[in-house]
Structure 1
Amino acid sequence: QHISLMVWRFDYVGIALLIVASFYPPIYYGFMCQPGWAALYLSVITALGACCVAVSLLSRFQTPQWRATRAGMFAGLGLMGVIPVLHQLALNSHVWHVRAAVALIAIMGCTYL
């Protein structure tokens, strides 16, 4: 049972890292001409991901009463991607490859749910 709990925690850590890492290319390249925004969005997503990792690893948060909080944190981590995507659309919706990238990012987000 101890091994099962450890593997379960590492699984959630891997999911958090996957979500965080999937934000980096679109934000880095999408906001290449606005490095301040890129730094802000990448910092926020990294901090939220670190919180999800901490909650996944700390035994205090493994009890049933924290289940909804843990799920909400992971959902919030994924939904945080809506903000930079909408920002990118507001800046560059007239550029066809931005619209195409947003469509692909939306598909990626749906697969995470």
Structure 2
Amino acid sequence: MPQKLMKSAHYIELGGRYQYWPVLVPRGIRLYTYEQIPVFLRDNPYITDGYRAYLPSRLCIKSLFILSNETVNIWSHLLGFLLFFTLGIYDMASVLPATRASREDYVIYSIGLFCFQLCMLCSVGYHLFCCHRSEKTSRRWMALDYAGISIGILGCYVPGVFYAFYCNNYWRQVYLVTVLAMILAVFFAQIHPHYLSKQWQRLRSALFCSVAGYGLIPTVHWVWLNGGFSSDLVQSFIPRVLGMYAIAAVAFLFYVSKVPERYFPGTFIFIA
């Protein structure tokens, strides 16, 4: 390696080993092992290396452009936000006008899309700033991430319930009010000082599963109102609804069981 380049390069310590990185790596950023990070960052012992820690806000932002065990989390959600944003502009400018959508359609579509985008941005913020040197700041971003998940769930419910019960205003209001009340209950639960603790981890999971699983009630009701599974309308839409729940269930199982890193500790450092 040329001597000039060697002098301008920075090194990042990674698990007791030294790995060469390009000049673009900001000074002051170091990657740590699981044993070296603060206790509040120790969530998955099977991810053994690649942790950012002890960083001020400025370096948290700069760490967006280095490879760490949060890189995939950050960029997948950031690109997800950009995807929803781009699709939203396209649909608002082309698709909805072509279908002669009403003002109601624009409002409901905007609510759902805004919720999805906000969910993505909250997750980006958490995965970017979770390594902050202040535990209080890190916890605040974690709380915002959980709030974003709730908002994302709300974004799924509002358009689904609104159009499923479009011709039944009573049940539409019942289900929308119930969902909103459940989301608000989750928000209030987050105020509790122990909500983000590891002792409440199962309770947090149970709360989100309850809110998400509640959607099966209006789904079954909608199937019944439309003549059961023999209805062409039901046969057209129910596979999509069940498919969405199946994907969510599989993702949740991967998250809870910590698979595949549980069986290959230290292997999935940069794609966790």
In which range does the TM-score fall when normalised by the shorter chain?
0.7 to 0.9
1:4 aligned to which of 138, 142, 145? 138
Residues 147, 187 of structure 2: 8 Å contact kept: yes
Matches within 5 A, 1:84-99: 84-92=218-226, 93=228, 94-99=230-235
Report sequence identity in percent. 23
More strand per residue: 2
More helix per residue: 1
Number of the residue aligned with 1:112: 248
Residues 186, 207 of structure 2: 8 Å contact kept: yes
Moved over 4 A (4+): none
Deviation, 1:12, is: 0.6
Larger Rg: 2
Q: Give the gaps of 5 or more residues in structure 1.
A: none
Deviation readout 1:37-67 (Å, 9 max, x if unpaired) = 0100111111111111222344242333332
Residues 48, 77 of structure 1: 8 Å contact kept: yes
Letter in 2 for 1:99: Q
Letter in 2 for 1:22: C
Determine if the alignment matches structure 1 residue 71 to structure 2 residue 214: no
- The total of aligned residue pairs comes to 113
The TM-score with structure 2 as length reference comes to 0.39
Number of the residue aligned with 2:182: 48
Stretch moving more, 3-12 or 66-75 = 66-75
Matches within 5 A, 1:4-23: 4-23=138-157
Residues 27, 84 of structure 1: 8 Å contact kept: yes
Let me know the Cα RMSD of the aligned residues: 1.7
Q: Give the gaps of 5 or more residues in structure 2.
A: 1-134, 250-272
For residues 58 and 13 of structure 1, the distance between their equivalents in structure 2, rounded to whole angstroms, comes to 14
The TM-score with structure 1 as length reference comes to 0.87
